[in-house]
């Protein structure tokens, strides 16, 4: 795989909490259109009592060079009532890894760190994402 210059593709991620000893793994599908970030996240349900086994969220943000910032909002049908989560991070030079922090807008709510590792990029990532969206139950 050659050097990437954007965030397009499928990413394996994890986030943890500063206040709680817990790490959550997730998968992200990212589209990077000249620095405009969009995509979705699928993660195990760790906080919605009686909810589904997996939670889906949409992300939207921006990338400038190696720096990125995006918001994550859980799917409305899940009934999650919380402010958007804000993520800020920095990619390494070949766009294979991102490290950063996440937080809510309210300072008294939880926060922590996150990490993304590229799994699939470019057209292959977009094709896999399109296929996943057409196979929804």
pLDDT at 118: 94
- Tens place of pLDDT for every residue, the chain, 137 residues? 457 889 998 999 999 999 889 999 999 999 999 999 999 999 999 988 888 899 999 999 999 999 999 999 988 877 787 788 999 999 999 999 999 999 987 777 889 999 999 996 655 555 655 655 655 44
pLDDT at 2: 56
pLDDT at 137: 46
Q: Residue 72: CB partners within 8 Å, gap ≥ 6?
A: 41, 57, 58, 59, 84, 85, 87, 102
- Residue 115's Cα: distance from chain center in Å? 9
pLDDT at 84: 83
pLDDT at 127: 60
Three-state DSSP at 26 gives strand
The pTM of this model reads: 0.83
pLDDT at 51: 83
pLDDT at 28: 95
pLDDT at 60: 97
Three-state DSSP at 6 gives coil
């Amino acid at each position: 795989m050659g050097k990437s210059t954007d965030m397009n593709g499928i990413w394996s991620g994890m986030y943890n909490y500063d206040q709680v000893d817990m790490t959550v793994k997730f998968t992200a599908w990212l589209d990077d259109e000249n620095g405009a970030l969009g995509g979705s996240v699928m993660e195990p349900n760790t906080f919605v009592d009686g909810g589904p086994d997996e939670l889906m969220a949409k992300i939207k943000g921006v990338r400038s060079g190696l720096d990125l910032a995006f918001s994550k909002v859980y799917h409305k049908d899940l009934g999650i009532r919380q402010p958007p989560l804000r993520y800020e991070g920095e990619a390494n030079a070949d766009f294979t890894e991102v490290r950063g922090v996440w937080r809510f807008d309210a300072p008294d709510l939880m926060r922590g760190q996150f990490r993304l590792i590229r799994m699939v990029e470019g057209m292959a990532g977009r094709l896999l994402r399109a296929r996943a969206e057409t196979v929804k139950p």
